Each structure stands twice: as C-alpha cells, then as structure tokens.
Copies of this chain bind each other. A is one copy, B any other.
Amino acid sequence: MKTRDKILLSSLELFNERGERNITTNHIAGHLAISPGNLYYHFRNKSDIIYEIFLEYEKLVDFYLDIPEDRAITLEDLTFYLESVFDGLWSYRFFHRDLEYLLDSDRRLRQDYREFTNRCLAAISRIFEKLAEAGIIQPQPDELRSAMSLNVWLVITNWMAFLKTAHALEESASLTLNELKQGIYQVLTLEIPYLTPEYRERVMALREKYRPRLPEAAEMEGEALRKKG
C-alpha cells in the first residue's frame, strides 16, 4: 500500500480512537513509523488529511443514499439506508465529534459539508416521500416532511455524542457499532405515528430489533453465555 494511503488510513483509525484533537501529525507519523517530513511530503498539512478523509466519507454516504427513482421503496430499502448511514457514521466517527472546529479551520470543508448536509436532508425527505408512495407511512405536507427530515438528521448525527457523553459507558467500555445502531430505534420512533395500519406491525418489529438493551440485561446475558460455555 502506498504511503499516502497508509497515512489516510492510520489517521482515520487514530482520529476515531482518540479524537482528532488528541492526535498530532507526529502521532500519525510515529504510528506508521515514518518521519514527519515524509508525512508532510504527502500532505501539506493536517487539514488536508482531514479533508481527504471527509471526501471518502462523503462518497460513501452519497453512494448509499442514492434513492432509486424508477421503483417503489420497500421496508428492506429503509433498513438498508438506516444500517448504511450508521455504518458510515461509525467508520468516520471522529468527524462529527470535532465538526465545528474542523469546519472553522477549513473553508473548503465548511462549504462541502454544508452541501453534503443538504444532500442528506434531501435524501431523507425523498425517502419519506417514497415511503408514503409505498403506503408504509401516511403522506405528509411538504413543510412537515422537511421538518421531520431535519429531526431525523439531528437524531442520527447526535446519537453517537449522546452515547459517548450521557450513556452508562463506564471507563473501559468503549462504544460498539451495535450500540450505535440503537440509534435506528430512535429514528424509527419518530415515524411511529405516521405508519399506515398495513405496515405498522412490521415496522414496529423492525424497531424492536434495535431496542437498546439495559446494561444489566446485556451483562446477565453475557453471564448466561459464560455459564453455558
């Protein structure tokens, strides 16, 4: 693998683990056992590394949020969108943590991120529209649909911060992808009142799959597993 790509990969990994603020260019170089000079041969500065990582993130999400125009949407599609978005959020989880600072330090990033958000909001809104067309949710007036899409976005982008700051995460226990995906439960909560009777059961069952387990329950389950094994 090329040094340039290794830098991007290591940076992402370190940023995700310890936060962009806590990782310096020297850390990255050290982690790869290359010299700072080498790193700066490939990237003008730290911002450039972050910007390229963002471009990957953007590409990923844009790819997954490509809503088909030619066919109706299914519940499986919805699951796929939700899973994909949270997967993306997970893979680039450092990004939202220091978002404001990052955007303040890089104008390109600010501009691109703004457009990215708008595309995401449009995609969410489009999904709502198609869910209504498919008879999964009731149709909504434009204004309500926009506001709801925005709420979905707010819940999605803030769910991880909530887990990391407010949840019963003890010192050692770090966040897992599974916990993150409990955000899907929260998102589906938003849609409950709009579900059509025909689909209500099925969506509620889907939601149930992402219900957060109480830490004690999870522990007991682990206990049971250990006893079994």
Chain B residues lying within 8 Å of A193, measured Cβ to Cβ, are 193-194
B192 near A190: Cβ-Cβ < 8 Å: no
Within 8 A of B (CB), among A94-140: 97-101, 103-104, 110, 113-114, 117-118
Interface string of A147-173 (1 = CB under 8 A from B): 110110111011101101111100000
Quick one: which of B98, B118, B151, B164 contacts A151, CB cutoff 8 A?
B151
A117–B186 contact, CB under 8 A? no
Once bound together, how far apart are the Cα atoms of A154 and B151, in whole Å? 9
CA gap between A44 and B101 in the complex, in Å: 26
In the complex, the answer to whether B101 meets A161 with C-beta atoms within 8 Å is: no
Set B113, B165, B194: member contacting A166, Cβ < 8 A: B113
Cβ contact within 8 Å between A158 and B166: no
The answer to whether the Cβ of A21 comes within 8 Å of any Cβ in the partner chain is: yes
**Chain B proximity of A152: nearest CB distance (Å):** 10
| Chain B, residue nearest A147 (CB) | B189
Q: How far is the CA of A22 from the CA of B151 in the complex (A)?
A: 30
**A99-B161 in contact given A147-B185, A166-B117, A166-B118 (Cβ < 8 Å):** yes
Task: Give the Cβ gap from A94 to chain B, nearest Cβ, in Å.
Answer: 10
Shortest A49–chain B CB gap in Å is 18
Q: Contacts of A19 on B, CB cut-off 8 Å?
A: 100-101, 104
Provide a sorted-by-A list of 27 A–B residue pairs whose CB atoms are within 8 angstroms.
A19-B100, A21-B21, A21-B101, A97-B100, A98-B101, A103-B165, A110-B165, A113-B166, A114-B166, A114-B167, A114-B168, A117-B165, A117-B166, A144-B192, A147-B189, A148-B189, A150-B162, A151-B186, A151-B189, A153-B162, A154-B154, A154-B162, A155-B158, A157-B162, A158-B158, A190-B190, A193-B194
